[in-house]
Amino acid sequence: MDIIRLADIRGYGYVGALPEEQVLGQWFAVNVTLMLDLAAAGQSDRLEDTLNYCSVVETVQHLIQTSKFALLEKLASAIADALLQTHSAETPIHQVTIALTKLTPPIPHFSGQVTVEITRQPCDA
């Protein structure tokens, strides 16, 4: 199986358990790992034989910007589901891993980041 990785897709969104997070928003970063068969593209050198990763970035950014969930887990699942559903026709994705990071979580005395990582396959969707 082959892999396409997209790192550090950024978006400003409104996901969080605190009411302020739902109103003020914050920055998120997403790493996407897609497992799929790239043999046809490797032979043909044609864009139509591979996954359009520009549309993957657009899908991720759109979901970050428009979703209002309490949990990172829900947003990560929504991203995985959307990628598995919307991109299965062009080049089937066999597995997707989403690492969703809240860059500045509102946790007292904590200056780090929080990341949720999930892996899904089409049958999980």
Per-residue tokens: 11: 């978006």
Query: Which pLDDT does position 113 carry in this prediction?
Result: 97
Give pLDDT tens digits along the chain (125 positions): 999 999 999 999 999 999 999 999 999 999 999 999 999 999 999 988 999 999 999 999 999 999 999 999 999 999 999 999 876 556 789 999 999 999 999 999 999 999 999 999 997 54
Query: Which sequence positions are flagged as catalytic?
Result: 102
Report pLDDT for 86: 78
CA distance 45 to 59: 24
> Which amino acid appears at position 38 of this protein?
L
pLDDT at 123: 76
CATH code of 2-124, in short, is: 3.30.1130.10
For tokens 């979901």, name the residue.
63
> What are the boundaries of each domain within the chain?
2-124
pLDDT given at position 63:
98
User: Who contacts 16 (Cβ-Cβ below 8 Å, separation ≥6)?
Assistant: 22, 26, 70, 102, 106
